[in-house]
Structure 1
Amino acid sequence: MSQEKILIIEDDEILAQGVRMNLSLAGFAAETAKNLREGEEKLTSKAWSLLLLDVNLPDGDGFSFAKKIREKQDIPIIFLTAKDMDTDMMEGFESGADDYVTKPFHVQILIQRIRAVLSRYAAGKKEENRKKTGNLEIDFQAYKVWKSGNELTLTPTEFKLLRKFLENPGIVLTRGALLEELWDKEGDFVDEHTLTIFVSRLRSKISDAEYTYIRTVYGTGYQWTEEKKR
């Protein structure tokens, strides 16, 4: 299991090194940056699990930097700051903070809050990778599908079709849009007759007495519906 990597952007080098050392002892891989320029360079050079960010830095403020990072990366952010006014905390959370720790702080409390943020973040990511609809459960990361608790066997093409439908519930997807989804990504040619077969096979695997899921819109394409059969 790989270590979770934490970047500390803090201009107080004694504080930064102390936090880094304690994080390393707690099992994290931690590095420091003394300003925003150096921090941004390190953020773009590798993948990080979490960012510890000082608010007041020599070359800018952490709140603005956090907003900028949020536009590019999905990474948990904890602010480290001496600002303890409610308005400061509100600004911190509005700029994208997952937590806000005021100085001085006990490093072991900081570590516990880091673990709490990482745990919530991981749970959120896991939820994004799984979806429940009707009596189906889909794990997009593991490429698995269950119907009423029983695992189904889907081909890669059938799974791609299923994902496309789930990303567009209620929307009529034209045959052309579905063909574009299946064709050219791997260089495989899929014609309209083959598409009809793929959709039919997928529907036969996921539908049952309660749900049809894939409705044919004659002359146009198909539509995903979660309504039960009448």
Structure 2
Amino acid sequence: MERILIIEDDEMLNAGLCYNMQAAGYIPVPAYDLKTARDLLHSQRWDLILLDVNLPDGNGYAFAGQIRRDSDVPVIFLTAQDMDEDMVKGFEAGADDYITKPFNIKVVLQRIRAVLNRCGKAKAAEELVCGNLRVNLSEMTVQKGNSPLALTPTEYKLLKTFLQNPGQVLTREIILEKLWDSEGNFVDEHTLTINVSRLRSKISDAQYTYIKTVYGVGYQWIGDREQIGGGNE
């Protein structure tokens, strides 16, 4: 389920939004000021942010600009400021949509779904996601849960290869061929074994195994279908 951060200082309005978001199948989390919002923003993963403009400890436009410098999480302004210049200012700050008060909650939910669908399709083209792993192909970064995961270039290529071939048994020869790049950087079978072992130790945990050894053949990406103890040979 998508996680939505609702930054709105009107507690009754925030509660009403949370109620309707939850009923629609989202996970809403309220924040009544920017200080709380900043703490939540940096400590958890978010799929969308609903943001008021006038907050007790700051301006929503400025905060949206800060968000956009560090993240591509979608932002929808929810505000009583309905002048054209206010909307322009919101979009210039990086907003994905702008909803004025008073509003119909059904319209808000439709606009949220539209933004999530639009941003989700864009992300799908540049991200590979499985279990608690998220690989950003354009930035060549990996996250495990909410934390960045440091991988060597060879480990990154291995992970990318596995994620792009879920469920398939990849022979050692096929994997070696994919890791031997156009610049002639060579990986032999012994090095492959070591790198798979290192990658497995970094990505697996009590919940996910991810990589299964197929003896005498190669490896299989089992994703989140099998837990530790069920095939991590």
- Shorter-chain TM-score: which interval? 0.5 to 0.7
| Regions of 4+ moved over 3 Å | 139-142, 152-162, 184-188
2:140 paired with 1:142? no
Contact 1:9/1:53 (<8 A) preserved: yes
Q: Secondary structure at the match of 1:120?
A: helix
Cα pair distance change 1:155/1:26, threshold 3 Å: same
Matches within 5 A, 1:93-172: 93-129=91-127, 142-144=163-165, 155-160=174-179
Contact 1:9/1:52 (<8 A) preserved: yes
Offset from partner CA, 1:60-97 (integer Å, 9 cap, x none) = 11111111111222201000111111111111111110
Cα pair distance change 1:24/1:18, threshold 3 Å: same
| AA in 2 matched with 1:52 | L
Q: Secondary structure at the match of 2:98?
A: strand
| AA in 1 matched with 2:18 | R
Cα pair distance change 1:127/1:161, threshold 3 Å: farther
Displacement of 1:157 in angstroms is 4.7
Alignment match, 2:146: none
| AA in 1 matched with 2:163 | A
In structure 2, how many angstroms separate the alpha carbons of the residues matched to 1:160 and 1:93? 43
Cα pair distance change 1:159/1:84, threshold 3 Å: farther
Alignment match, 1:43: 41
2:39 paired with 1:18? no
Displacement of 1:28 in angstroms is 0.6
Q: CA RMSD in A?
A: 3.2
Q: What's the TM-score, normalizing by structure 2?
A: 0.59
Cα pair distance change 1:124/1:160, threshold 3 Å: farther
Cα pair distance change 1:80/1:157, threshold 3 Å: farther
Gaps of 5+ in 1: 132-138, 145-151, 166-172, 189-230
In structure 1, how many angstroms separate the alpha carbons of the residues matched to 2:121 and 2:162? 14
In structure 2, how many angstroms separate the alpha carbons of the residues matched to 1:73 and 1:97? 12
| AA in 2 matched with 1:28 | Y
Among all aligned residue pairs of Structure 1 and Structure 2, give the percentage whose two residues are the same amino acid. Answer: 45
In structure 1, how many angstroms separate the alpha carbons of the residues matched to 2:85 and 2:73? 23
Offset from partner CA, 1:101-126 (integer Å, 9 cap, x none) = 00000111101110000000111012
**Which of 44, 50, 53 in structure 2 is aligned with 1:52?**
50
Q: What's the TM-score, normalizing by structure 1?
A: 0.60
In structure 1, how many angstroms separate the alpha carbons of the residues matched to 2:77 and 2:91? 9
Contact 1:129/1:141 (<8 A) preserved: no
Displacement of 1:155 in angstroms is 3.5
The structure with the largest alpha-carbon Rg is: 1
In structure 2, how many angstroms separate the alpha carbons of the residues matched to 1:106 and 1:113? 11
